Amino acid sequence: MPRQYPIEKVRDFGIIAHIDAGKTTTSERVLFYTGVSHKIGEVHEGDTVMDWMEQERERGITITSAATTCFWVPTYDKGNKGNEHRFNIIDTPGHIDFTVEVKRSMRVLDGAVVVFDGVAGVEPQSETNWHYADEYNVPRLCFINKLDRIGASFERSYQSILERLTPNAVPLQIPIGLEDKFEGIIDLLRMKAYHFEGEKGEKMTEGDVPENLKAEAEKLRHDLLEKIVEKDDALMAEYLDGKEPALADLKRVLRKATIGNELVPVICGSALKNKGVQLMLDAVVDYLPSPADLPPTKGTNPSTHAEEERHPKDDEPLAALAFKVAADPFVGSLTYFRVYSGTLSRGSYILNSTKNNQERIGRIVRMHANHREEVEEIYAGDLGAIVGLKNTTTGDTLTDPEHPIILESITFPEPVIDVRIEPKTKADQEKMGIALHRLAEEDPTFRVSGDPETGETIIAGMGELHLEIIVDRMKREFGVEANVGRPQVAYKETVKGSAEAEGKYIRQSGGRGQYGHVWLKVEPMERGAGFEFIDSIKGGAIPQEFIPAVEKGVREALGRGILAGYPLVDLKVTLFDGSFHDVDSSEFAFKVAASMALQEACTKAKLVILEPVMKIQTIVPPDFLGDVTGDISSKRGRIKAMGERGTVRVIDSDVPLAEMFGYSTALRSMTQGRGSFNMEFSHYEEVPANVAQTIIEGRKK
């Protein structure tokens, strides 16, 4: 079947928001207006279309990243089927414990609508998500939602975007009224007022700008025009000549500037009260890129290691990225992918170039809000899901076997918290293993390991809520109940300096001997750099066949830890000398020698313990400011900024995760229940010597 929608009429975008800003409600309305959803469900009724996992409904948060397809004809072109666009909406989660989902979706979407709460404006997590979007150069629209709420302010929310996110934000709209008087929206480019009638706001009407808002609208329109014409010399010349630029020209230039991340249009509404969502969809068509608007995708040829490019064209060789593996209750596993170039066809053989495996493509589906559509092909720029793919995990590239390429993968943060778990009954042991393994396949920031000494199972993730949800899913989806221990901080070890050391494992008395001998050098690397192994053996001091065993010995020793049993990170290990024996040398002997040399070199290079430090934002009434800041300082916290927001005070600080357990209860009692906070991972940092001593002693017990 040929392509139904030209690539220019495709939009792959996501709706990103701080938890509670209204992403679920907005997505719902989008599906309703796009005609896919036949019934508006309220979040509290628990029947939203996008939330398909049971517990998401209960918690009211969205944690899966699925791609949903729907269709939209811009309202200014109503009834013109020829201008229908295909939207692939890539779901992103609201809660910070799932930043991984946000990151993975950023990698595959071309544009984003960022939803803000019109009362709170920019919240801490909006900043984090904004920075992820910056990392991937994602063009954005800002949607200031909830203007019907008491205390809502378009102006203040817009200012917080300007101050805290980007100076390039420009309002395209302003609200007519606020709070319970919020009734409609003025479009500054068209200078028209829009009202939304009918039970679900489905009847949008266009009218004149109300008299009382004319002066303000004129002024803002003037500012907006200046910002737009600045981006285009020809338009600028016209404008300076006193000519009124044409709407089509303004839209064209604004579109280009938005896609180039030079301007960020700001629009507004109330998803709950059914106002403004249709205009938001028009803005997606008008200002967010189609796959053809973006630069070609880059990757590496796995055989030549040369950089290559793929263009979003159906007749180029296939290059697709698997961005999510999800267990599906109906069809088993679903591998979501995005095609960057070429066409992915049912029944074809493709190469997973990341793993160097051939795979046969079975059924391909496209997910709509309330049904799945079986398709034969997915074309360049589009998204879909493959049913039952065996050996492909998140971040793998799927390519034409004749023209392989490996696209840039998705990098995920390391878990910061872990907890021991055991099944409630012995009989569940095996089932628990299978369940955890499956869940880890879906979620790259969730890890499972075993404690080699006690045989216990340890699970690790991005926060307490993340792990709670995993345990919950294990119970619901796999029927395994578990006892969960106290969450522990995932400390790491690293070296402060450089050092060299020798490791010898030589046994040559009687029978077959053992001979392994290496010299290693360890050097620190920057935070977050991980681990690098370098083989600089010259002149065959150690035969090539034993080098992998040396690396293995090093990696195993790093994983076991040295100072307090925490894994070592952020260091470079160079193998630079050694010797061997013709008969007695073995992989085993080199592995042991490497592990001995590593331990000694690291000890000489001075070992330290690293701990995760969290970015905290605490919001309290002024009366409690002193108590709360004092408490933060007593937690080894660093206060970075204090500000006012309306009647409350906002404290930004960095606090070690180890000090944060039980903070919500403590804060509640300190502030008579009136304080709240937000927490997310920031970075790893060396722990002070006295704390390190306590950690080491604690581990010895």
- SS3 sequence, 12-56? EEEEEECCCCCHHHHHHHHHHHCCCCCCCCCHHHCCCCCCCCHHH
Give Cα separations from 226 to 240, 574, 699 (angstroms). 10, 58, 63
Judged by CB, which is closer to ligand GDP: 85, or 275?
Answer: 275
Tell whether residue 24 is a contact of ligand GDP (CB under 6 A): yes
User: Judged by CB under 6 A, which of 21, 112, 142, 571 binds ligand GDP?
Assistant: 21
Nearest to 444 by CA among 486, 402, 409: 409
Tell whether residue 469 is a contact of ligand GDP (CB under 6 A): no
Tell whether residue 149 is a contact of ligand GDP (CB under 6 A): yes
For the chain, the residue count is 701
User: Judged by CB under 6 A, which of 13, 25, 417, 440 binds ligand GDP?
Assistant: 25
User: Judged by CB under 6 A, which of 272, 541, 625, 639 binds ligand GDP?
Assistant: 272
User: 277-287 vs 247-259: helix axis angle to the nearest 10?
Assistant: 80
Tell whether residue 656 is a contact of ligand GDP (CB under 6 A): no
Q: What is the smallest separation between the CB atom of 23 and ligand GDP, expressed in angstroms?
A: 3
Structure tokens that stand for 299 in this block: 């990757």
Kindly write out the interface string for residues 407-446 of this chain, putting x where it contacts ligand GDP by CB under 6 A and - elsewhere.
----------------------------------------
Is residue 495 classed as helix, strand or coil in its secondary structure? strand
User: Judged by CB under 6 A, which of 126, 129, 145, 574 binds ligand GDP?
Assistant: 145
User: Judged by CB under 6 A, which of 9, 57, 146, 615 binds ligand GDP?
Assistant: 146
Q: What is the smallest separation between the CB atom of 46 and ligand GDP, expressed in angstroms?
A: 11
Tell whether residue 91 is a contact of ligand GDP (CB under 6 A): no
Judged by CB, which is closer to ligand GDP: 61, or 185?
Answer: 61
Tell whether residue 562 is a contact of ligand GDP (CB under 6 A): no
Structure tokens that stand for 121 in this block: 């404006």
Tell whether residue 270 is a contact of ligand GDP (CB under 6 A): yes
Q: What is the smallest separation between the CB atom of 698 and ligand GDP, expressed in angstroms?
A: 38
Tell whether residue 22 is a contact of ligand GDP (CB under 6 A): yes
- Kindly give the pairing relationship between strand 457-461 and strand 417-423: antiparallel
Judged by CB, which is closer to ligand GDP: 113, or 482?
Answer: 113
Tell whether residue 64 is a contact of ligand GDP (CB under 6 A): no
Are 160 and 280 in contact by the 8 Å Cβ rule? The answer is: no
Which parts of 43-62 interact with ligand GDP (CB under 6 A)? Answer: 43, 60-62
Query: How far is the C-alpha of 287 from the C-alpha of 141, rounded, in Å?
Result: 8
Judged by CB, which is closer to ligand GDP: 48, or 618?
Answer: 48
Tell whether residue 144 is a contact of ligand GDP (CB under 6 A): no
Tell whether residue 184 is a contact of ligand GDP (CB under 6 A): no
Q: What is the smallest separation between the CB atom of 497 and ligand GDP, expressed in angstroms?
A: 47
Residue 164: CB atoms within 10 A of its CB come to 14
* DSSP of 511-571: SS-EEEEEEEEEEE--TT--EEEEE---TTSS-GGGHHHHHHHHHHHHHH-SSSSPPB-SE
Q: What is the smallest separation between the CB atom of 126 and ligand GDP, expressed in angstroms?
A: 11
Judged by CB, which is closer to ligand GDP: 94, or 656?
Answer: 94
Q: What is the smallest separation between the CB atom of 269 and ligand GDP, expressed in angstroms?
A: 7
Tell whether residue 20 is a contact of ligand GDP (CB under 6 A): yes
Query: How far is the C-alpha of 284 from the C-alpha of 12, rounded, in Å?
Result: 10
Query: How far is the C-alpha of 264 from the C-alpha of 165, rounded, in Å?
Result: 10
Judged by CB, which is closer to ligand GDP: 186, or 655?
Answer: 186
Tell whether residue 271 is a contact of ligand GDP (CB under 6 A): yes
To 10 degrees, the CA torsion angle through 685, 689, 691, 695? 90
Tell whether residue 94 is a contact of ligand GDP (CB under 6 A): yes
Query: How far is the C-alpha of 35 from the C-alpha of 31, rounded, in Å?
Result: 6
Q: What's the first-to-final CA gap in the chain, in angstroms?
A: 67
334 torsion bin: left (phi>0), alpha (psi -120 to 50), beta (else): beta
Is residue 247 classed as helix, strand or coil in its secondary structure? helix
Judged by CB, which is closer to ligand GDP: 51, or 293?
Answer: 51
Binding site for ligand GDP (CB under 6 A): 17, 19-25, 43, 60-62, 94, 145-146, 148-149, 270-273
